[in-house]
Amino acid sequence: MDELNRLNEKEFKNQKKFPMVLLLDNIRSMHNTGSIFRTADAFRIEKILLCGITACPPKREIEKTALGATKSVEWKYFDKTADAVTELKKQNYIIAAIEQVENSVSLQSFQPQKDNKYAVVFGNEVKGVQENVLELCNHFLEIPQFGTKHSFNVSVTAGIVVWDFYSKLLPAI
């Protein structure tokens, strides 16, 4: 780790975070949850909100893919995703759901603004983002796809979305 010039856990916690919150709306797979924690650590995401049936650390299945990121990345649990979204809106976050809906826009055409704080909602692997949560969102983003499948794995989706936001806002940070 020294050769890679990586932060230790204490240094990580003291670093400025990327102004983004990830909301996991009823994620079934603990491996997906762990993978999202690892992505959040890699990009120094502000925090993760675990909602509904999404499992909370410590769990062996989460740690298998998180590789310790549950200790570095701040997280909080909410029984209802809508409550998490409501709390973030009170803190002036812009809420974007990653979902294939009628009014969605392509992720590549969405331009986040440097002075805004964003929270991104990732839905259940089968059912997607809950309807009552979609009603609370400011934006609906969709990743273009060109194959036979209609969706990505949720942890892959999180990686794509976080990288997209990060790459568009990096000069501003």
What pLDDT is recorded for position 2?
61
Q: Is residue 143 part of a domain?
A: yes
What pLDDT is recorded for position 170?
84
Q: Is residue 4 part of a domain?
A: no
Q: Is residue 94 part of a domain?
A: yes
Four-residue CA torsion sign, 1, 165, 160, 70: positive
Decide if 36 contacts 24 (C-beta within 8 A): yes
Provide Rg for the chain, Cα atoms.
Answer: 15
What pLDDT is recorded for position 7?
87
User: What rounded mean pLDDT belongs to the chain?
Assistant: 95
Q: Is residue 2 part of a domain?
A: no
**Is the N-terminal amide bond of 171 cis, ω within 30° of 0?**
no
The count of structural domains within the chain is 1
Q: Is residue 89 part of a domain?
A: yes
Structure tokens at 102: 């009628």
Q: Is residue 117 part of a domain?
A: yes
62-76 CB burial, b ≥16 within 10 A, e <16: bbebbeebbebbebe
What pLDDT is recorded for position 20?
97
What pLDDT is recorded for position 5?
78
Q: Is residue 132 part of a domain?
A: yes
What pLDDT is recorded for position 172?
53
Structure tokens at 147: 């194959």
What pLDDT is recorded for position 4?
73
Cα atoms found within 13 Å of the Cα of residue 153, Cβ hemisphere only: 10
Q: Is residue 40 part of a domain?
A: yes
For helices 30-42 and 154-169, angle between their N-to-C axes, nearest 10 degrees:
10
List the chain residues with pLDDT less than 70: 1-3, 171-173
Domain of 131, CATH number, reads 3.40.1280.10
**Domain housing 18:** 9-172
What pLDDT is recorded for position 1?
53
